[in-house]
Amino acid sequence: MIKLKDVSQPYFILWGSLLLSLAISLTDSISTAHAEEYPAYFSSRTYLGFYEDMYGNRYAPLYEYFEVEYNRPSNGMKFYSAGWLKYDFRTSGEKRTNSDLGLAYVTYSPPSDSNLVFNAGRHYVFEGVASEQIDGVSARWDFARNTGLSLYGGIPVETDKDGRDSDTIYGCRLFGRISGKAEAGVSFLREDNAGIRYREEIGLDLWAIPFRGIEIQGISSYNAITGGFIEHSYSAKAAVSRKITLRGFFVHSNYRDAFSSATLSVFSPDNIGINGKMTKSGISAEYLISEGIATTLNYTGYTYQTSGDARHYGARLHYKGTDIHAGGAFNRMEGDTARLRYTEMRLYTVKRLDKHNFSLDFITLRYDRPYNNMNIAYNLNGTAEYVINNNLSASLSIDKGRDPDYNHFTKVMLSLAYTFKGALSVQAGY
């Protein structure tokens, strides 16, 4: 069983160091003789929800999402932070509070070389095989024409199994490109858990436009611990004409290699099948009927090593006007097993007025085999928003529906959003 622990201590370290760097940044600006304006952004979104679970427990969670950004373009520095806090008014017997500091980092890019970027703090690293959230540092440098290197290292931010002592993550990506034509990268990632090798992945990624209107991209990643490929994932897109775009894709995954370092038991070999393999391939065609109206046809085939195959196909239509969005989709999953046979339909519309916005969203699923004597599930959402002023808006959202777990459910959400976008003007003397 996985034991979860909260990791609050690193938050203090992060907040401390990052707020310190922000303070230093501001102090430095105050010591200058002239006034300067620094772009700043702040947003707050507060949500209050009401719902009941399948056991009759009632919840009334309050969420506060915040986002802070402060720029000093003159010295190439930026501070950014985002996260949320939660308090549940109605839960009994469970933890009422929760929080997450999603991002808190400083970015520095020297004015003399904008091809060099440093990040420090809690931030994302998307580099080849790495799609990580880390407490640490990263750098990206296009050190030569069409060639560059990324490096990163720190402590991984993920579900904590056994404390963060001696947990480390580091890696790199070396890339080369032909400007506007192609880019290829070789990437490496190593993660240690409690000082023991936990993940070691190597990847090759590719992006290319070999001919005008044709775009190829993909990645192959290798698990150096299990000695097998995690996945090969490639796609090709072709703009047949100004109105028609075709996309084909191919994905092959080995479960043994892909799920070897999961922190959730459902991905363990006992549950998922250690010899499981999946190949997914398909094609989609998008046709731009006229300005703002497009339709997409799609087909995906699934082939499994240990169970029957499946096919997913359907169509989607969407319209985007100046103050209205509308669309719908119809899809069919046709699997060899009864569980994988169902029909899915969705319709939505959004109307934006000067001070009011309204939206409706209806999703329904019809299962060929009934579950709990029910084979039709649906969810209807209606949302109304009132824009109080340029910075402040309030909305009410109601969900109504049913599925095999719930005969009927209702969920209500109130939210208040505040956004500030402006500049911090610092006027100071000697």
Partner 1 sequence: MRYDEFRYLGIFLTALMALNHIYALPALSEEKRVSPNSHHFDLIEKPLCTECHMSDDSADLKPISSFNHSSDFISSHRFYAMQRSQICTVCHRASFCSDCHTNKSGLKPSDRYQGSPERWLPHRGNYLFQHRIDGSIDPTSCFRCHGRRNNKLCVKCHK
* Span 360-389, contacts to partner 1 by CB under 8 A: 360-361, 363, 365, 371, 377, 379, 381, 383, 385
- CA torsion sign for 257, 262, 267, 273 is positive
Tokens of 206: 């590719």
Containing 270, the helix (H) or strand (E) segment is: helix 269-272
- Window of 11-19, 24-32, 60-68 that interacts with partner 1 by CB under 8 A: 60-68
CB closer to partner 1, 153 vs 328: 328
Residue 176: CB minimum distance to partner 1, A: 3
Is 128 a binder of partner 1 (CB under 8 A)? yes
Candidate residues 14, 136, 155, 253; the one interacting with partner 1 per rule CB under 8 A:
253
Nearer to partner 1 among residue 165 and residue 430 (C-beta): 165
416 scored as a contact of partner 1 (CB under 8 A): no
Q: Could you say which residues in the range 72-111 bind partner 1, by CB under 8 A?
A: 73, 80, 82, 84, 86, 98, 100, 102-103, 109
Q: What is the rounded distance in angstroms from the CA atom of residue 285 to the CA atom of residue 217?
A: 17
Could you say which of 25, 79, 120, 123 contacts partner 1 (CB under 8 A)?
Answer: 123
Burial 313-342 (b: 16+ CB within 10 A, else e): bbebbebeeeeeebbebebebebeeeebbb
Asked if residue 339 binds partner 1 (CB under 8 A), the reply is yes
Distance CA 171, CA 204 (A): 14
The candidate with the shortest Cα–Cα distance to 45, out of 422, 419, 357, is 419
Nearest to 176 by CA among 217, 140, 145: 145
What is the smallest separation between the CB atom of 96 and partner 1, expressed in angstroms? 14
Closest separation in Å from C-beta 429 to partner 1: 24
180 binds partner 1 (CB under 8 A): yes
Tell which residue, 175, 177, 77, 187, has the closest CA to residue 132. 187
Q: How many residues does the chain have?
A: 430
Nearest to 83 by CA among 106, 66, 62: 66
Strands 36-52 and 61-72, how do they pair? antiparallel
- 310 lines the binding site for partner 1 (CB under 8 A): yes
From 16-24, 27-35, 340-348, span contacting partner 1 (CB under 8 A): 340-348
58 binds partner 1, rule: CB under 8 A:
no
Q: Which stretch binds partner 1 (CB under 8 A): 8-16, 17-25, 28-36, 114-122?
A: 114-122
Q: Does the footprint of partner 1 cover residue 412 (CB under 8 A)?
A: no
Among 40, 272, 416, 424, binds partner 1 (CB under 8 A): 272
